[in-house]
C-alpha cells in the first residue's frame, strides 16, 4: 500500500514539475530560474552544504524511495545535493511525513484522509440524502491526491495565553494557525528575528515547547446563518446558551475593510431609541455611530437596552456585544430582553471577564461580522459594544505580553486604529448595495467624568456624536442622566422625521437658558416674574425628560409630550407629579384619540392642523383632570 501510494505521489510530483516548467517556458523564462517564488521553497540551501530533508515514519523508505524523494526535493528547491535524515515517528503510520525546513509534505494515511475530508467539505450543501450520496460518489471518482504540502512551525515558548513560534515565514498578520493539540491561535506579532507571536483561543496548558504549528491560510472568522437570531454565542461563534447548533452556512471574516464612499449613502432615516431626551435633541440615524459615555453605574447599558427594546416590530436586527462583563450582568440583560420579547431579533456575543484577553479582543469584531451579515442582506442592524474601555484594556494586555512598546497610559501606539477600523464598518449602504445599514452604539466608561482621557478622546473623535451621562444628574434623580451641554449628534435633524423636527422647537435652547438662570439664581433672592416662570418651565422640562427603564416611548407619544411642553401646559402641575401626569396624558390620548395617534405614527408629517388637534385634545384632558380634583 505504501509503495503504490508512493508511486502515485512521485508521478504527481513529476507532473507538477513539468507543468511549472512549461508555464515558465511559455513566459520566456528558463525553468528553475525563479525557484525563490516556487511553492514550498522557504528553505534556502546552503552554498557549501546539502539540503536537509527529514523523513518521519514507522517503516523507513528503501533506497529506491529515498533516491526518488531526493530527486523531487532537488528539483523543488534547486539544491545540488540532499541529506536525508530518518526519524521514527509512531504518528506517521502507513507513509512518510517529510520536513524541509518550515515546509511539510504529509504522505501519511492521516494526511490522505485530511485531503479527502477537505475535498468533501467543499461540496455544495444538500438536504436530501440521495443527493448527498451522489455528490460524494462523484467527488470520490474525481478525487486526486496532491503532494500534501503545508508550512509547519514550532513552539518556542508559551504562557499567559501567548505562544511564540519559530518558522512559518510566510504567515500573515491575523491568520489562524493550528497547534498539534487542536488549539487555535491568531497571529498578532510578526518579528524581524523570524519568530511570531500568537494569541491563543483555547487551553494553553495543552501546548508545550517544540509542538508543531501549521498554517490554515484563513483569517479569523465566525460561522453564521439566519438561525443565529435569538441566540447567545461566544466570539468564536459557538452557542453558549445551551441550545442546539446554529447550523451555519456562511463563514464571515471578523476583520474586513469598511465600505467605501461609493458604496455608502448619507444617513437620512432615524433609528429611534424611545428615549425622549435623545430622540428629541440628539437624534441617531441609521448608519450612524453614537458614543454613550459616562462614569460607572450611570445608566449607559440601560440606554442601550432600551434602544434594543424600542426596535420591536421595526425589522431591525440587534447585536449586543458584552466585553469583559460579569456573567451575572449578561444574564440579567438576557432576562430583560426575553421578558420584553426582544430576543427574537437580537444576537448576544458574550466574552465575560473569565475569558482570556484574546477572546475579549476579538469579541467586538465577531459581533460586527454578525451585524455585517444582515446588513449585506439589506437589513437594518443595531450593534452595541459594551464596552470599548474594557476592550482597550484587553488589547493592552495582549500587546504588553507580546512585548510591544507601551505608549500613553501603557496602551500600544495603534490603539486608535484598534477602534477606528471597527467603528468605520458601520454604514448606511447605497441602494445598489442593498440599502442595509449598521448603526453602532459604542459604550465607554470614564473615571470621575474625565472625557479628556486617552480612550474616550480617541472614540469621541471617531464617532458621529456622543451622549454624555452625568454623574451628578444621575444621583440627583434625573434618569436618563443626559447632559444636554456635553452631548451632541453630528448628524442632527437629518436623522429626524418631519413631525419630530418641528415639534422639538427650541427645547435644547430652553434647557440651556434654564441651566444658566439656575446658576444665576443661586446668587440672588429677588427675581423678576419672567425669570421665575423661565426657571419653573425649565424645571418642568427636566421632569418631563425623566423616563423609567424599559419604558421606551413611541413616536406619537414623544410628539404629544413635546407639543404640550412647548405650550407650557405642565406649568401649573407640581414638579414631582409631572412624570405621572405625562403618563396619564398619553394613556388618555391612546384611549380617546387613537386615530390621531395612528396618524402621527404613520404619516410622520407636521402640519398646523395636526398641532391644533393635539393641543385641543390636550386642553380637554387638563380641563377634565382639573375638574376631577
Query: Would you name the residues annotated as active-site residues?
Result: 490
Half-sphere exposure of residue 468: CA atoms within 13 angstroms, side-chain side: 21
Query: Can you tell me the distance from the alpha carbon of 195 to that of 450, in angstroms, rounded to the nearest whole number?
Result: 40
The string over 610-621, giving b where at least 16 C-beta atoms fall within 10 Å of a residue's C-beta and e elsewhere, is: bbebbbebbeeb
* Numbers of helices and strands, H then E, in the chain: 19, 20
442: left (phi over 0), alpha (psi -120 to 50) or beta: beta
Query: Can you tell me the distance from the alpha carbon of 403 to that of 419, in angstroms, rounded to the nearest whole number?
Result: 21
Determine the angle formed by the axes of helices 454-462 and 388-401, rounding to 10 degrees: 120
Type and span of the H or E element at 318: strand 316-323
- Of 578, 579, 571, 566, nearest to 606 by C-alpha is 566
DSSP string, 84-103: EEEEE-TTSTTSEEEEETTE
Which residue's C-alpha cell is 512598546? 405
DSSP string, 383-443: EEEETHHHHHHHHHHHHHHTTPPP-GGG--TTHHHHHHHHHTT--BB-GGGT--EEEEEEE
Joined together, the cell numbers standing for residue 55 give 523523513
Cα-based angle 286, 288, 289 (whole degrees, multiple of 5)? 140
Beta-bridge mates of residue 103: 100, 151
Determine the angle formed by the axes of helices 578-592 and 608-628, rounding to 10 degrees: 110
Is residue 321 helix, strand or coil?
strand
Query: Can you tell me the distance from the alpha carbon of 611 to that of 621, in angstroms, rounded to the nearest whole number?
Result: 15
Positive or negative torsion for Cα 276, 281, 286, 289: negative
Query: Can you tell me the distance from the alpha carbon of 158 to that of 199, in angstroms, rounded to the nearest whole number?
Result: 10
Query: Can you tell me the distance from the alpha carbon of 271 to that of 210, in angstroms, rounded to the nearest whole number?
Result: 54
Is residue 13 helix, strand or coil?
helix
Is residue 213 helix, strand or coil?
strand
Strands 380-386 and 316-323: parallel
Residues 6 or more apart from 219 whose CB is under 8 A from it? 172, 174, 175, 176, 253, 254, 255
DSSP string, 149-180: EEEEEEEEEEETTEEEEEE-TT--TTEEEEET
The string over 474-493, giving b where at least 16 C-beta atoms fall within 10 Å of a residue's C-beta and e elsewhere, is: beeebbbbbbbeebbbebbe
Query: Can you tell me the distance from the alpha carbon of 104 to that of 212, in angstroms, rounded to the nearest whole number?
Result: 11
The answer to whether 316 and 380 have CB atoms below 8 angstroms apart is: yes
130: left (phi over 0), alpha (psi -120 to 50) or beta: alpha
Amino acid at each position: 500500500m505504501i509503495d503504490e501510494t508512493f508511486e502515485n505521489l512521485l508521478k504527481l510530483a513529476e507532473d507538477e514539475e513539468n507543468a511549472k516548467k512549461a508555464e515558465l517556458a511559455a513566459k520566456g523564462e528558463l525553468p528553475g530560474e525563479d525557484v525563490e517564488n516556487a511553492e514550498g521553497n522557504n528553505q534556502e540551501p546552503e552554498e557549501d552544504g546539502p539540503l536537509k530533508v527529514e523523513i518521519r515514519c514507522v517503516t523507513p523508505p528503501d533506497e529506491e524511495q529515498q533516491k526518488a524523494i531526493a530527486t523531487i526535493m532537488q528539483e523543488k528547491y534547486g539544491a545540488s545535493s540532499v541529506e536525508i535524515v530518518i526519524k521514527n515517528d509512531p504518528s506517521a503510520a502507513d507513509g512518510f511525513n517529510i520536513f524541509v525546513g518550515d515546509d511539510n509534505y504529509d504522505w501519511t494515511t492521516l494526511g490522505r484522509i485530511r485531503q479527502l475530508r477537505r475535498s468533501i467539505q467543499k461540496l455544495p450543501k444538500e438536504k436530501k440524502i440521495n443527493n448527498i450520496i451522489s455528490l460524494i460518489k462523484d467527488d470520490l471518482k474525481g478525487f486526486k491526491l496532491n503532494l500534501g504540502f503545508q508550512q509547519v512551525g514550532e513552539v518556542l515558548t508559551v504562557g499567559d495565553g501567548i505562544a511564540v513560534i519559530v518558522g512559518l515565514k510566510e504567515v500573515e498578520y491575523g491568520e489562524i494557525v493550528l497547534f498539534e493539540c487542536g488549539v487555535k491561535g491568531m497571529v498578532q506579532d510578526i518579528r524581524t528575528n523570524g519568530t511570531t507571536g500568537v494569541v491563543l483561543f483555547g487551553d494553553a496548558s495543552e501546548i508545550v515547547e517544540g509542538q508543531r504549528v501549521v498554517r490554515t491560510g484563513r483569517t479569523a472568522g465566525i460561522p453564521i446563518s439566519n438561525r443565529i437570531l435569538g441566540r447567545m454565542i461566544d466570539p468564536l461563534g459557538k452557542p453558549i446558551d445551551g441550545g442546539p447548533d446554529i447550523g451555519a452556512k456562511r463563514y464571515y471574516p471578523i476583520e474586513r475593510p469598511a465600505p467605501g464612499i461609493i458604496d455608502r449613502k448619507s444617513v437620512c432615516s432615524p433609528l429611534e431609541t424611545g428615549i425622549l431626551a435623545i430622540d428629541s435633541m440628539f437624534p441617531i440615524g441609521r448608519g450612524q455611530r453614537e458614543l454613550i459615555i459616562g462614569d460607572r453605574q450611570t445608566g449607559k447599558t440601560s440606554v442601550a437596552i432600551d434602544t434594543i427594546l424600542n426596535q420591536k416590530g421595526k425589522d431591525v436586527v440587534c447585536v449586543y456585544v458584552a466585553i469583559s462583563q460579569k456573567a451575572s450582568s449578561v444574564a440579567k440583560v438576557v432576562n430583560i430582553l426575553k421578558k420584553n420579547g426582544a430576543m427574537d431579533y437580537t444576537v448576544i456575543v458574550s466574552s465575560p471577564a473569565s475569558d482570556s484577553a484574546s477572546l475579549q479582543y476579538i469579541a467586538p469584531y465577531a459581533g460586527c461580522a454578525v451585524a455585517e451579515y444582515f446588513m449585506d442582506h439589506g437589513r437594518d442592524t443595531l450593534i452595541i459594544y459594551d464596552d470599548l474601555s474594557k476592550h482597550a484594556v484587553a488589547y493592552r494586555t495582549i500587546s504588553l505580553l507580546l512585548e510591544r512598546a507601551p505608549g500613553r497610559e501603557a496602551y500600544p501606539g495603534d490603539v486608535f486604529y484598534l477602534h477606528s477600523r471597527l467603528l468605520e464598518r458601520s454604514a448606511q449602504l447605497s441602494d445598489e448595495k442593498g440599502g442595509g445599514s449598521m448603526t453602532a452604539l459604542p459604550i465607554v466608561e470614564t473615571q470621575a467624568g474625565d472625557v479628556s482621557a486617552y480612550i474616550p478622546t480617541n472614540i469621541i473623535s471617531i464617532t458621529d456624536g456622543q451622549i454624555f451621562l452625568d454623574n451628578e444628574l444621575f444621583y440627583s434623580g434625573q434618569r436618563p442622566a443626559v447632559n444636554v451641554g456635553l452631548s451632541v449628534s453630528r448628524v442632527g435633524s437629518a436623522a429626524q422625521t418631519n413631525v419630530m423636527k418641528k415639534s422639538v422647537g427650541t427645547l435644547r435652547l430652553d434647557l440651556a437658558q434654564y441651566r444658566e438662570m439656575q446658576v444665576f439664581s443661586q446668587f440672588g433672592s429677588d427675581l423678576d416674574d419672567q425669570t421665575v416662570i423661565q426657571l419653573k418651565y425649565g424645571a418642568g422640562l427636566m421632569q418631563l425628560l425623566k423616563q423609567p427603564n424599559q419604558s421606551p416611548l413611541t413616536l406619537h407619544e414623544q410628539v404629544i409630550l413635546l407639543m404640550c411642553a412647548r405650550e407650557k401646559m405642565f406649568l401649573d402641575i407640581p414638579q414631582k407629579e409631572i412624570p405621572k401626569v405625562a403618563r396619564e396624558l398619553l394613556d388618555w390620548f391612546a384611549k380617546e384619540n387613537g386615530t390621531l395617534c395612528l396618524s402621527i405614527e404613520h404619516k410622520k408629517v407636521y402640519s398646523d392642523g395636526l398641532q391644533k388637534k393635539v393641543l385641543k385634545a390636550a386642553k380637554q384632558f387638563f380641563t377634565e383632570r382639573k375638574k376631577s380634583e
